[in-house]
Structure formats: structure tokens, C-alpha cells
């Protein structure tokens, strides 16, 4: 289990998540990409936590990230549903009220 | 060499100043308070004037024997120019004080009855106070600037009182006329002031007189040299300015004293209430002109005095002629006033200073008496007016036989009329005799063409007696014509004598018209007035000065006196006789008098229309002024307006050019700026797509670039 | 090759491939299911890395919670009468370019980093941690953060309910 391999996996997951976030029009799909990115970060934290068996900061941080991600997912999905009720669509390119 | 500052320096404090202030403040107080009072206004005003009269008499008794008390103070200074005020209490001022206040009080008293039913009597009495205040100012001040100020105030109060019944068109027109005529004269006054000030740099009469004595004629130039603030001042004017100054100042008197050619306002001024006519337009204000000449008498040169004499003689004769055909009793008195003023001015012109002032005083008495008597008649006739009875109570055609109804008025009127006609035993005789005598002596000395003055003066005596007795016969003898003319009036209450308010002033003035008041004598020289006031000596440089009458041999006066007395009495009596035969009850003219519209014949027409002077003014001067005004209006309209319109048009064209420049160049620049800003805004706005993912991409693209820069 | 490594690579492959599937699939529902696979693969890697509690939590929270929410979200925001729940794709070129560029940089950075020579990693005790240790840490050193994060989660959930759940008019709500 070389560290580099795990870090590369994290980087790959992060970039895939990023690509999903950027390219998908559907808000749910974008959320999926965000979850991927968060998990990529978690992977890094846990990987480095292996070298910190006493303090376990990485693992604790990963737990908090998961918690916050759960909160974020809940709120985000609520907003998406509300937005959908308002605009009758969940496509982000249609929701451009802030367009200059 | 004399220093001007010494002459006009402030005098030491003299308690007399309080009396002077009181004399002027009381009538002013009357003016300010009376106007706001209602019922007690007449009583209050009369009371105040009574106090003033008491002060005048007290002052007269105190200062009778002094040669004159002068009070002077600094009014204000501008730079090194000092303006002073000064008073002079001499016998002349004292006599004038008493006369003015005396007549003013009597007129106030008379007006209490005369104006009883007038709604605006508080205003009337207030204005009487204003007038008295102004007149006292002229008398008391010994400074030409202040005399001029009060002179104008007198003109103003005269204007206000002539136009007292301003709802009558004729009254307001008459007031305007009087005011404008006075203005023309005042223009001369101001000119005189300017000449004297430029020469002497002071308005103070004492200063002017002192410097006149010291001025000299060098090469036909009038030179005055004196120190002012330590510096030598040498003012040199052409010698003719000396005459011009006197004539210009005399112009003021011409306006105020109703002399030819400005006298036309005085007959019209009879539109005012009759007591006002008595006070202002017979006794006092018109005398102000004569008084002013008396004040500047010593600085008049021979030429100016000749002008004065000629004007006076012409005025006296013209007005006397005009008086003998009038229907309006007040018009007759008005013309006679002008005529008598002409006598006074004539006296001044021939150098008979004392005689002129004497006539001023006697005339004030008997003319005020005549006016108040006429006022009584008018007032009582006015009582007869009713709903169906309308007539002009001043018209002599409705009078006649009033002796039976109003005996007291008749006697007073008679006494005053005899004084006016100049018959012995009455004051008018003394003063008129003195004037005629002095005139005769002066003309004998002068010779040449000046004899026409003497002719005019003596002719005026005849005509004066004639119109005076014509008036008396028409008014007081025969039958009362009103019931014949207007039968409805017969049924009303009969004509009555006036009450005590009307009678008392008349009686007092009639007594004042007796010669015994001035001394038990037939010769003017023997009166106390002559003892008190002597002819002054002319102060102008010798080559310009007129001769002094007193320098002439006394025998001339003695020799001429008997002749003059006989001729004047004879002329007066013949006037009386002519009047008797023409206007006695049942005589030819008397019978047709009531039906006449206006007199026939050349003389009658000339007289009735006062030598057509008004018509001349209207036809020639007014027309000329209107013609000139039209021309000027044309000039204004065509040339000035044209020029202005041209400028305006040019401006419009220019404005269009500027507008084009504005629109295209300046606005273009502004538009370019806004367009550029707008385009830049559009450009940057397009970045704000509103799409979160685009923002993320942009952010990450920059993050990548940054990392590349950091890592490699 | 020890069995541990085989298991590790298997999880690694599962994770990577399912993630790639997410990227390539247009169907959101498939993507969501592929995400389950990714999470499970990562949970396996966590176990192998000695973080059992995190792995369990990962499966409980993500698979049991978040993904259910996602599926509900998909159902609520799409008309289910449609044959496929697909999403449109745009920004393909720039998205892929940026992602690839970022991956290149990250990979390069990882390659450049000399982990073997970092002091605290080299001297780290190799004794594996236990769930007990983790529990002790959370309940002692990190107890404040733990409580705060619990409150945050509670508030977030209440807020989510408030946002999504209330469809009544504001005026009626106030009354």
C-alpha cells in the first residue's frame, strides 16, 4: 500500500469529481461530483493519518468532513428541490438570474 | 483773509435752542398725533398751536431788542467738508413767527367749525400741523440747505392740502399743478444753491454773506478767496454767475410766491378748503418766497434785482386785471393775492426791503381775514344746500345782499377789503404806500424804460380798488340772488351769521388790518415796524451792487411822498367809484351779472382767462412737450429698439452657432465617453454569465496557472 | 504479492473505475449507483489503512444517508415518466482540460514530494490504531468540536426540512 498510489487515487478522484461538477448540467449530478471531491480529500486525510497513530488527527478530521458533507448534502438537496419548484427545472444553465 | 471754518464754527450753547426745538417740535407732534385722533383732533391741534403761539410771543418779547441771536452747530462732515445747521432769531424771524403762528391758530380755530362735518378732519388738522412745522423751519433756519428742505416740505404740505378732497378730480389736478409749478421754481433754487456752494463751499447764510462781502470782481470775474481747513481756496467764476445765482434763487421764490410766469397754480389751488387757502395760499406759504428773498436780499446784485422788480410789477398788474372779472369769490381773492405778492416782490426788487416785508405782514393779516370771511360765507351758504338744492357756494352769482344776513362778516370783510384796496386808516395803505413811494424814488434814480414799472404799479392800485369793491357790491349789496336762481332754496332755513368759531378769527384779523396796530400815523416810516427793521446794505462787490435807497437824498422821499399818497388814494377812490357805478344794486353790470356765462369784450376775455396764460401753456409748452415726447418715443422705438433688436437677432444667430457646436462637438465628446464606458461595461458584463460552473472553471484555470508558476 | 495488496488493488480499481463511470455516464441514476461502488471501494481502502471507524461511518453516512437523499432528489427533480433520467453535458472540452491539467499538476507534485524523508512520517510508530483510541480522542481532546459538529448537523437538517418541506404560503405560516 504505497502512499503515492493512494495519493494518486485521491488526486484522480478529485479531478474526476471536478470534471463532473463542471460538465454536468443537472444539479444532482453536480452534487455527486462534489461528494466525490470531498471523498478524495478524505482519502488523503486517512492516508496520512496512518503515520499519526497517537493523535489520529486525520481520522478525526475525516469524520468531521463526513458529517459536514452530510449536512451539506441535506441542505443542498433541499435547495435543489426548492429551486426546482421555483424554476421548474434543475438545470443550472437555465438558472442564471445573476447573469450580468 | 478769512477762514471759512471760523465763520461756520459751532456757537456756544444757548438755551434758546430749546425754544427753537419746541417751536418746531410742537407742530410736528401735532402732525404725528392728530392724524390718529378722532373726535378731539381739532381741539388737540388747536391747543398745540396755541402753545406754539404763546412760545412765539414769549420769544418775541424776550428778544425784541436784540440785533439777532445766531445758533450754529455741526450737522455732519464728509471728508473735510463740513455741513452745518444754523438758526437766526432776529426781528424779522420773530415777527414772522408770531404772524405765522397767529394766523395758524386762527385758522385752526376757524376750521373747527368749517371742517366739523368732514370725515377726514383728523388728517386735515394733522396736515395743518405739518405745514406749520415746515413754515417755521423756513423762518428759523439760517442755512440755505435747511431752508430748501423745509421749502420742499412746505410744497409737500401745500400739495396735500390742495388735494385734500382728492376724490374731486379738479382738486387732485390742482394739487399736481401746484406741485409741478413749484418744482420748476425749485429747480432754480437748486441751481442757485449749487452756484453759491461752488463759490463759497458752505450753505450757511452767515458764511455766504461774510464771504460775499470779501469777494471781489477782477477782470469781470467773480473771485472769492478764503482759507478752508488752513488751505487757501480761490474760486473764480465769471461775473455773470453772481447775477445768475440771485436770479436762480429768485426762481424758487417765483414758484412759491406765485410770480409770473409760474403763478397759474395759485388760482387752481383754491380747490383746497378755504381755511387752507387763508393760511397757505394767502398769508404764509406764498410769503415764504418773499421771506426767502429777504434772507438772501443782500447778496442780490443790481441785475438780479431788476429782474425781481420787473417780474413783480408784471405779476401785480396781470393778476389784478385777472381778478376783476371772476365769478368765484375765492378766485378773486387768489388773483388779488398774486397781485399783492407781486407788490412785495416789486418792493424787494427796487430795494425796499422793509416796505416789502411790511406789506408781507399786513397782507398776511388782511388777506387771511378776507379768506376767512369768504370762508364764512361759503360755509353758511353750504348749509343751505340740500337734496334738491345744488349750487356752487363759492360763486358770487348766487350771493348778493349778504350784509343783511351776516353783518359781522360784512364788517370784517369790509375792513380787510379796505386794507387791500389801500385806503388810509388800514394797514394795507401804509405798506402799499411805502412800496409805491420807494418804487417811485427808485425809478426816478434809475430812469429810462423802468417807468413802465411805475405805471403798472399805480394802475394796479386802481384795478385793485375796483375789483375789491366790485366783489363787495356783488356779495353784500342788493338782493340775495340764490332764491331767484333756485326757487327751491327759498323754502329752506334762512341764511345765518356764522357762530363764534367763525366770527372770532375774522374779527381778530380785521382788527389786525387796522393801521392803528402799526402806529398812529399816515407814513410808513413812523410805524414800529420800520423802526425795527431797516433796509440792509448790499454786500455784493461794488461794481455789481445796486444802489441803496437810503443813500439817496431824504428830500426825494419827502417830495415824492405827498404826490404818491395823493395819487394812490385818488386811484383807489376812483376804482371804488367806478365799481360803485358799475356794480351798485340796479346798475347795468350788476343786473346782468347773474345771467352771464363769461365776460364779453377783449379786456373781459383777457381778464377772465388770465391773459390766456394757461391756454398758452397748454397749447404751446404742453404741445411741445408732447411733440417732443413723441419724437423721443419714435427715436426710442426705431433707433434704440432697432439697435437692440439687431443685437438680439445677432445674439440669436450666434446662439444657434453655439448650439450647433454644443450639440455636435461637445455633446459628441460626451457621447463618445459614455459610449466607450458602455462598451467596456458590456464587455465586462459578459463575463458575469450567472453560471456557477463557469466561475468554477475560471477560478480553477487561474489556480492551475498559479500552481504552474509556483511549481515549475 | 501478499493477499493484502491484492485486496488493496481490487478496492483501488473498484474505486477508480466506478468514478470513471460516473464521469462517463450521462444517466444520473447510474451515476448515483456508481457512487455507491466508489464509496464502498474507498471504505475498503480505509479499512486497509487502519481507519475502521471512518470506513464504517463512510458506508453508514454516505451509502445509507446521502445517497438515499440523492436518489430522492433525482426522483423529485425529474419527471419519472421519462425513459431515462439523463443529464445534458456541456463544457466538455474545458472541463476535461482543466481536470486533466489539475491531475497532471497534482500527480507531478506527488511525484516530486519526497515522503520517505519527512521526519514525522519516518519516525511514526507503526503500531496500528484502534477504534477505542479514536473514541477516546473524540470524547476527550475533540469533544468540543464533536458537540459543535453535532449541533451543526442538527441545525443543517432542521434547516433543510424548513427549506424543502414547507410549501405553505408565508402569510399562512406566520398566522
The pLDDT tens digits for B450-504 are 888 889 999 999 999 999 998 888 888 888 888 777 777 666 677 778 788 888 8
Whether B317 and B410 have beta carbons less than 8 Å apart is answered as no
Pick from A46, A74, A77: which is nearest to C49 by CB?
A46
Residue-wise pLDDT tens digits, B352-402: 899 999 999 999 989 999 999 999 988 888 888 777 777 888 888 888 888
Give me the pLDDT at residue B313, please.
92
Q: What is the ipTM of this complex?
A: 0.88
**For C102, which of A15, A27, A46 is closest by C-beta distance?**
A15
How would you class B169 by CB atoms within 10 Å of its CB: exposed for 0-12, middle for 13-18, buried for 19 or more? exposed
Please give the Cα distance from B447 to B547 (Å, whole number): 13
Residue of A21, A93, A95 with shortest CB distance to B696: A21
Q: Which residue has the cell 407742530?
A: B27
The confidence score (pLDDT) of residue C82 equals 62
Distance from CA of C98 to the nearest CA of B (A): 6
State what percent of residues in chain B have pLDDT above 90: 30
Task: Please compute the mean of the pLDDT values over residues B670-687 and round it to a whole number.
Answer: 90
Distance CA B91, CA B97 (A): 10
Looking up cell 443543517 gives C156
Min Cα distance A44 → chain C (Å) is 10
Q: Which residues of A touch B692 (CB under 8 A)?
A: 92
**N-terminal to C-terminal alpha carbon distance within chain A:** 50
Is the CB of C77 less than 8 angstroms away from the CB of A36?
no
Mean pLDDT, range C88-104, rounded to an integer? 88
Q: Which residues of B touch A21 (CB under 8 A)?
A: 693, 696
Chain C positions touching B701 (Cβ under 8 A) are: 94, 98
pLDDT digits (tens, 9 = 90+) for C113-164: 877 777 777 777 766 677 888 888 888 988 999 999 999 999 999 998 888 8
Chain B residues touching residue C94 (CB < 8 angstroms): 697, 701
Count Cα neighbours of B438 within 13 Å in the Cβ-side half-sphere.
Answer: 32
Give the sign of the dihedral formed by CA B345, CA B348, CA B350, CA B354.
Answer: positive
Distance to chain A for B660, nearest Cα, Å: 37
- Over chain B, what is the mean pLDDT? 87
Separation of alpha carbons B281 and B266, rounded Å: 7
Beta-carbon separation of A13 and C16 below 8 A: yes
pLDDT in tens, B390-437: 788 888 888 888 888 888 899 999 999 999 988 888 888 889 988 999
Residue from B688, B691, B700, B707 whose CB has the most chain A CBs within 10 Å, to mutate: B691
**What pLDDT does residue C166 have?**
64
CA distance C175 to chain A (A): 22
Which chains are adjacent to chain C, needing at least 3 Cβ pairs under 8 Å? A, B
Identify all chain C residues contacting B711, using CB atoms and an 8 Å cutoff: 105, 108-109, 112
Please check the confidence at residue B570 and state whether its pLDDT lies above 50. yes
- pLDDT tens-digit readout, C18-49: 999 999 988 888 899 999 999 999 999 999 88
Q: Return left, alpha or beta for B225; rule: phi > 0 is left, psi -120 to 50 is alpha, else beta.
A: beta
Least confident of B467-476, B520-529, B692-701: B520-529
Preferred mutation among C1, C66, C90 to probe A, highest tally of A CBs within 10 A: C66
Q: Which residues neighbour B125 within 8 Å (Cβ) at sequence distance 6 or greater?
A: B30, B34, B41, B42, B44, B45, B46, B108, B111, B115
Inter-chain CB proximity B693 and A18 less than 8 Å:
no
**SS3 (DSSP) at B225:** strand
B691 vs A: CB within 8 A: yes
pTM, whole model, 2 decimals? 0.67
Q: What pLDDT shows up at residue C152?
A: 92
Please tell me if residue B67 touches chain A, with a CB cutoff of 8 Å.
no
Question: Rounded mean pLDDT of B51-61?
Answer: 91
- Nearest by CB to C105, which of B694, B701, B711? B711
Q: Which of C48, C31, C30, C38 is nearest to C13 (CA)?
A: C38
Confirm if B366 and B513 have CB atoms less than 8 A apart: yes
Of B62, B60, B49, the residue nearest B23 (C-alpha):
B49
Contacts of C65 in chain A (CB under 8 A): 70, 73
The β-bridge partners of B83 are B76
Min Cα distance A29 → chain B (Å) is 12
Residue A83 in contact with partner chain B when CB distance is under 8 A: no
For every residue of C93-146, DSSP letters joined together read HHHHHHHHHHHHHHHHHHHH--GGG-HHHHT---PPP-HHHHHHHHHTTTHHHH
Sequence-distant (≥ 6) Cβ neighbours of residue B564 within 8 angstroms: B433, B436, B437, B440
The pLDDT value recorded for residue C167 is 61
Half-sphere exposure of B391 (CA within 13 A, CB side): 26
Amino acid at each position: 500500500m504505497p502512499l503515492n498510489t493512494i495519493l494518486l487515487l485521491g488526486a484522480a478522484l478529485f479531478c474526476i469529481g471536478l470534471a463532473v461538477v463542471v460538465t454536468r448540467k443537472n444539479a444532482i449530478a453536480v452534487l455527486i461530483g462534489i461528494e466525490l471531491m470531498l471523498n478524495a480529500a478524505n482519502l488523503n486525510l486517512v492516508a496520512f493519518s496512518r503515520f499519526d497513530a497517537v493523535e489520529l488527527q486525520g481520522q478525526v478530521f475525516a469524520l468531521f468532513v463526513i458529517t459536514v458533507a452530510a449536512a451539506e448534502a441535506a441542505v443542498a438537496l433541499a435547495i435543489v428541490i426548492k429551486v426546482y419548484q421555483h424554476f421548474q427545472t434543475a438545470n443550472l444553465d437555465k438558472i442564471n438570474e445573476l447573469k450580468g | 483773509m478769512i477762514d471759512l471754518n471760523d465763520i461756520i464754527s459751532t456757537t456756544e450753547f444757548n438755551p434758546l435752542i430749546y425754544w427753537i426745538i419746541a417751536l418746531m417740535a410742537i407742530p410736528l407732534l401735532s402732525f404725528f398725533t392728530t392724524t390718529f385722533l378722532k373726535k378731539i383732533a381739532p381741539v388737540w391741534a388747536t391747543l398745540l398751536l396755541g402753545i406754539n403761539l404763546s412760545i412765539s410771543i414769549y420769544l418775541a418779547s424776550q428778544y425784541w431788542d436784540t440785533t439777532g441771536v445766531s445758533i450754529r452747530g455741526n450737522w455732519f462732515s464728509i471728508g473735510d467738508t463740513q455741513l452745518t445747521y444754523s438758526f437766526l432769531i432776529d426781528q424779522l424771524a420773530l415777527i414772522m413767527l408770531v404772524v405765522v403762528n397767529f394766523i395758524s391758530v386762527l385758522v385752526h380755530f376757524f376750521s373747527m367749525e368749517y371742517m366739523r362735518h368732514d370725515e377726514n378732519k383728523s388728517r386735515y388738522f394733522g396736515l395743518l400741523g405739518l405745514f406749520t412745522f415746515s413754515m417755521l423751519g423756513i423762518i428759523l433756519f439760517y442755512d440755505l440747505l435747511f431752508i430748501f428742505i423745509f421749502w420742499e416740505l412746505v410744497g409737500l404740505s401745500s400739495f396735500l392740502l390742495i388735494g385734500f378732497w382728492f376724490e374731486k378730480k379738479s382738486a387732485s389736478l390742482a394739487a399736481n399743478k401746484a406741485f409741478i409749478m413749484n418744482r420748476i421754481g425749485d429747480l432754480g433754487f437748486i441751481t442757485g444753491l449749487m452756484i453759491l456752494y461752488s463759490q463759497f463751499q458752505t450753505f450757511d447764510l452767515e458764511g455766504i454773506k461774510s464771504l460775499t462781502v470779501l469777494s471781489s470782481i477782477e477782470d469781470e470775474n467773480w473771485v472769492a478767496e478764503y482759507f478752508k481747513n488752513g488751505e487757501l481756496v480761490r474760486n473764480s467764476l465769471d461775473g455773470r454767475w453772481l447775477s445768475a445765482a440771485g436770479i436762480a434763487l429768485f426762481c424758487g421764490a417765483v414758484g412759491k410766491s406765485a410770480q409770473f410766469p409760474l403763478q397759474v397754480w395759485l388760482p387752481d389751488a383754491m380747490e383746497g378748503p378755504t381755511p387752507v387757502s387763508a393760511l397757505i395760499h394767502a398769508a404764509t406759504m406764498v410769503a415764504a418766497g418773499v421771506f426767502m428773498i429777504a434772507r438772501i436780499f443782500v447778496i442780490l446784485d443790481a441785475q438780479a434785482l431788476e429782474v425781481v422788480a420787473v417780474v413783480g410789477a408784471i405779476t401785480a398788474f396781470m393778476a389784478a386785471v385777472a381778478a376783476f372779472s371772476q365769478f368765484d369769490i375765492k378766485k378773486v381773492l387768489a388773483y388779488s393775492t398774486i397781485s399783492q405778492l407781486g407788490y412785495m416782490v416789486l418792493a424787494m426788487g427796487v430795494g425796499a426791503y422793509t416796505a416789502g416785508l411790511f406789506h408781507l405782514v399786513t397782507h398776511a393779516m388782511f388777506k387771511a381775514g378776507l379768506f376767512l370771511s369768504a370762508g364764512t360765507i361759503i360755509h353758511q351758504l353750504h348749509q343751505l344746500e340740500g337734496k334738491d338744492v345744488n349750487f356752487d357756494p363759492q360763486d358770487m352769482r348766487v350771493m348778493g345782499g349778504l350784509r343783511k344776513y351776516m353783518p359781522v362778516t360784512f364788517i370784517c370783510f369790509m375792513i380787510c377789503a379796505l386794507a387791500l384796496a389801500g385806503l388810509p386808516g388800514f394797514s394795507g395803505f401804509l405798506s402799499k404806500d411805502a412800496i409805491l413811494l420807494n418804487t417811485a424814488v427808485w425809478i426816478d434814480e434809475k430812469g429810462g424804460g423802468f417807468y413802465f414799472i411805475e405805471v403798472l404799479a399805480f394802475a394796479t392800485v386802481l384795478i385793485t380798488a375796483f375789483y375789491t369793491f366790485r366783489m363787495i357790491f356783488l356779495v353784500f349789496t342788493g338782493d340775495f340772488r340764490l332764491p331767484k336762481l333756485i326757487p327751491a332754496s327759498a323754502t329752506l332755513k334762512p341764511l345765518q351769521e356764522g357762530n363764534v368759531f367763525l366770527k372770532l378769527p375774522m374779527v381778530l384779523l380785521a382788527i389786525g388790518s387796522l393801521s392803528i396796530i402799526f402806529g398812529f400815523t399816515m407814513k410808513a416810516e413812523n410805524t414800529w415796524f420800520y423802526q425795527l427793521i431797516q433796509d440792509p446794505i448790499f454786500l455784493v462787490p461794488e461794481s455789481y451792487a445796486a444802489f441803496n435807497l437810503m443813500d439817496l437824498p431824504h428830500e426825494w422821499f419827502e417830495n415824492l411822498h405827498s404826490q404818491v399818497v395823493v395819487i394812490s388814494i385818488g386811484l383807489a377812490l376812483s376804482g371804488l367809484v367806478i365799481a360803485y357805478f358799475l356794480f351798485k344794486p340796479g346798475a347795468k353790470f350788476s343786473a346782468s351779472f347773474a345771467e352771464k356765462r363769461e365776460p364779453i369784450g377783449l379786456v373781459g376775455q383777457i381778464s377772465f382767462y388770465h391773459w390766456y396764460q394757461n391756454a398758452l401753456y397748454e397749447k404751446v409748452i404742453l404741445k411741445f412737450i408732447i411733440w417732443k415726447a413723441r419724437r423721443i418715443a419714435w427715436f426710442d422705438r426705431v433707433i434704440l429698439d432697432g439697435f437692440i433688436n439687431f443685437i438680439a437677432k445677432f445674439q440669436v444667430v450666434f446662439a444657434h452657432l453655439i448650439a450647433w457646436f454644443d450639440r455636435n462637438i461637445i455633446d459628441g465628446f460626451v457621447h463618445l465617453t459614455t459610449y466607450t464606458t458602455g462598451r467596456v461595461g458590456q464587455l465586462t458584463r459578459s463575463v458575469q454569465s450567472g453560471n456557477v460552473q463557469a466561475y468554477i472553471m475560471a477560478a480553477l484555470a487561474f489556480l492551475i496557472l498559479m500552481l504552474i508558476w509556483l511549481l515549475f | 504479492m501478499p493477499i493484502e495488496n491484492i485486496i488493496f488493488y481490487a478496492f483501488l480499481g473498484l474505486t477508480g473505475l466506478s468514478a470513471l463511470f460516473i464521469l462517463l455516464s450521462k444517466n444520473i441514476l447510474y451515476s448515483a449507483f456508481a457512487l455507491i461502488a466508489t464509496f464502498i471501494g474507498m471504505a475498503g481502502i480505509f479499512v486497509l489503512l487502519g481507519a475502521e471507524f471512518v470506513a464504517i461511518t463512510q458506508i453508514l453516512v454516505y451509502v445509507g444517508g446521502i445517497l438515499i437523499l440523492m436518489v430522492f432528489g433525482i426522483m423529485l427533480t425529474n419527471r419519472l415518466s421519462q425513459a431515462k433520467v439523463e443529464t445534458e453535458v456541456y463544457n466538455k472540452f474545458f472541463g476535461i482540460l482543466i481536470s486533466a491539467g489539475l491531475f497532471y499538476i497534482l500527480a507531478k507534485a506527488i511525484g516530486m514530494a519526497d515522503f520517505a524523508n519527512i521526519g514525522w512520517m519516518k519516525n511514526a510508530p507503526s503500531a496500528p490504531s484502534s477504534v477505542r483510541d479514536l473514541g477516546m480522542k473524540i470524547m476527550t481532546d475533540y469533544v468540543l468540536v464533536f458537540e459543535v459538529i453535532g449541533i451543526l448537523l442538527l441545525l443543517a437538517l432542521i434547516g433543510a426540512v424548513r427549506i424543502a418541506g414547507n410549501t405553505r404560503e408565508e402569510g399562512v405560516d406566520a398566522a
